[in-house]
């Protein structure tokens, strides 16, 4: 088989990139080692920045999002006996949309199928070859046969554990990582959200977050030890704990019910540099991970796709490779700013066992945020997403 761009991974970044390329007349094939059902079973975040919303429109996959997505113009932060609201519209002239990553993926799958795009699920033993030459190849096994794709470029959209970054020689890549000493216990429930906007809480018992997926489906989180398992958290224990960490009026208004999904996620920050190796580009989680506190994971992947898709368009339509040549630098500049913000939000809102001095600094940071329009504007600007 021959194609211009072979995309490894059919998560939202791979599907979004494939759709944008196809609509601009660039031939591409997407390989995914899992089944469509498995891809859609992964529960992920649901806050979309403007860059992600705009790209969904550009990809002609935004019809359901426009109908069902919830516009958010602010976020609440609770600490001590206080609760402040960060007004995105007033402070930063923007807003966010709540629309689940699973729904984004499904919409992109449907859009890809509608245009007859080439997408191979359950492609086993995917391997990338010769990406340091002008004739890269991708091999995979399916239905008992070995297949080889000759391509001009490879886009590694296959996540943190994927083959793309793992195939880069150790001498050619540098990684940066920070692991956090706690996780998030998350519950999805068919209950109305406790508030029309998200509420983050800093409490002596640990962090809590009230989020949502729709007017009738809520997503809640509490900070927990990394040694905990889902079996340690009954529904009753979870609801009791999160209500203890929220302001009394919020806790009293919370509607509880049976969980429909539970998971514990470890928090970490990770960046790989560079994000281009010859004719292979890393996209999304293949190159960077952020703690979920700042809601940046999916949106960073989308901004990678923004830069890369435009680089491919200029290369194929105008014989201009400058966008591809600067992809890594431009993507990483935004990545590191988002890493900083996600680290700061995590440090601001979670309980760390770092002693009284660190706790006092955290309290001072929260008090400053509550008293300063400039501090709130900085949070708002970063939260809704920096320009691409």
Is 181 a residue of the active site? no
pLDDT interval class at 313 (50, 70, 90): very high
Q: Tens digit of pLDDT for each residue in 187-212?
A: 999 999 999 999 999 999 999 999 99
Over residues 26-40, the pLDDT tens digits come to: 999 999 999 999 998
User: What does the pLDDT read at residue 42?
Assistant: 74
Selected catalytic residue, list 22, 106, 296, 306: 296
State how far the Cα of 199 lies from the Cα of 208, in Å rounded to an integer.
Answer: 8
The pLDDT of residue 43? 66
List the catalytic residue out of 12, 22, 72, 221. Answer: 72
| Annotated catalytic residue 262 | no
Residue 45 has pLDDT above 80, yes or no: no
- Establish whether 141 is a catalytic residue: no
Q: Measure the CA–CA gap between 214 and 68, rounded to whole angstroms.
A: 8
Task: Report how far residue 83's alpha carbon sits from residue 247's, in angstroms, rounded to the nearest whole number.
Answer: 8
**Rounded mean pLDDT of 215-237?**
97
CA distances from 341 to 162, 293, 361 (A): 26, 9, 17
The pLDDT of residue 81 is above 80: yes
3-state secondary structure at position 39: helix
Considering the chain, what percentage of its residues have pLDDT values greater than 70? 100
Q: Which domains, from first to last, does the chain contain?
A: 5-70+98-177+268-345 (3.50.50.60), 179-267+351-384 (3.30.9.10)
200 is an active site residue? yes
pLDDT at 46: 83
pLDDT tens string 285-305:
999 999 999 899 999 999 999
> One of 140, 292, 315, 316 is an active-site residue; which one?
292
Residue 275: per-residue pLDDT: 98
**Per-residue pLDDT tens digits for 155-178:** 999 999 999 999 999 999 999 999
Strand, helix or coil at 107? helix
The pTM for the full model equals: 0.96
Q: Is 296 a catalytic residue?
A: yes
Given a cut of 80, is residue 311 above it in pLDDT? yes
- Residue-averaged pLDDT of the chain: 96
- 99, 200, 220, 307: the catalytic one is 200
Q: Directed axis angle between helix 50-58 and helix 297-318, to 10°? A: 40
Cis omega before residue 41 (within 30°)? no
């Amino acid at each position: 088989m021959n194609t211009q761009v072979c995309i490894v991974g059919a998560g939202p970044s791979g599907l979004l990139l494939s759709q944008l390329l196809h609509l601009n007349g660039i031939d591409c094939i997407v390989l995914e080692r899992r089944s469509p059902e498995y891809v859609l079973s992964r529960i992920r975040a649901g806050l979309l920045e403007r860059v992600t919303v705009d790209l969904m429109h550009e990809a002609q996959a935004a019809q359901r999002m426009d109908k069902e997505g919830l516009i958010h113009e602010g976020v609440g932060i609770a600490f001590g006996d206080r609760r402040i609201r960060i007004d995105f519209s007033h402070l930063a002239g923007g807003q966010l949309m709540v629309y689940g990553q699973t729904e984004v993926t499904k919409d992109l799958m449907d859009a890809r199928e509608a245009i007859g795009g080439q997408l191979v699920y359950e492609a086993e033993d995917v391997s990338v070859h010769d990406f340091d030459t002008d004739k890269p190849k991708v091999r995979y096994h399916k239905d008992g046969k070995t297949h080889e794709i000759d391509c001009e470029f490879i886009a590694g959209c296959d996540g943190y554990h994927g083959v793309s970054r793992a195939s880069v020689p150790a001498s050619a890549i540098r990684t940066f990582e920070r692991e956090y000493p706690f996780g998030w216990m998350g519950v999805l429930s068919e209950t109305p959200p406790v508030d029309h906007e998200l509420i983050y809480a800093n409490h002596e018992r640990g962090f809590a977050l009230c989020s949502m997926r729709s007017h009738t489906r809520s997503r809640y989180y509490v900070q927990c030890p990394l040694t905990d398992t889902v079996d340690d958290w009954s529904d009753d224990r979870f609801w009791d704990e999160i209500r203890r960490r929220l302001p009394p009026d919020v806790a009293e208004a919370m509607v509880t019910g049976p969980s429909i999904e539970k998971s514990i996620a470890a928090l970490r920050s990770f960046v790989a540099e560079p994000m281009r190796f010859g004719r292979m580009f890393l996209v999304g989680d293949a190159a960077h991970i952020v703690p979920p506190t700042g809601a940046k994971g999916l949106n960073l992947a989308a901004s990678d796709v923004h830069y890369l898709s435009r680089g491919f368009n200029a290369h194929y339509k105008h014989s201009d490779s400058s966008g591809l040549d600067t992809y890594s630098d431009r993507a990483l500049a935004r990545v590191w700013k988002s890493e900083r913000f996600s680290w700061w939000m995590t440090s601001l809102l979670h309980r760390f066992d770092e002693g009284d001095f660190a706790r006092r600094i955290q309290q001072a940071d929260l008090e400053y945020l509550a008293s300063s329009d400039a501090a709130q504007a900085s949070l708002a600007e970063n939260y809704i997403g920096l320009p691409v």
